Structure 1
Amino acid sequence: MKPSKRSLKVLFPFILTLITTGSTFAQEGNNNFPPPETPIVLSATRTEGKISIDGNLSEPDWDNAEVVSDFFRVEPAQRAGT
């Protein structure tokens, strides 16, 4: 049995509403880490020579680069699935 065009016109907005409200409710919980109280500021240094992206920090310009070490991993939902 094939659905009529009228029934499709009635069902389509209903199905679309279900899909969009379901994704809205899925994003409600906030299990992420809060942002830092003081924003992190990084500075970039212009290089004098050529830098090769090879994992080897042998170029002299690396000596002028600022060291940044306070990285941490943020997931879309912390402890998801536990």
Structure 2
Amino acid sequence: MYKHVNGVYTNDDLSVSKTVRLYPETLEVIEGYRGKNFTEKLRNLVHDFARQNQEFVRQKEGEKGCGDMNRTRF
């Protein structure tokens, strides 16, 4: 949020503000997520997605590492 202080606009929460357009379905998912406000809901959603994605990547890397050991050659 910006404030007008001493003739200058300052950003009191030190965050970057951007304008984005969201599909209605995307907005519905974000608004339905856990959190007190939109920013917290979006932050929680992104955090959980990143954690889930990282677990998926680790799982896939584990499958690659053992792939040749599970094959039998005739």
TM-score, scaled to structure 1: 0.33
Structure with greater proportional helix content: 2
TM-score, scaled to structure 2: 0.36
**RCO greater where, 1 or 2, for CA within 8 Å and sep 6 or more?**
1
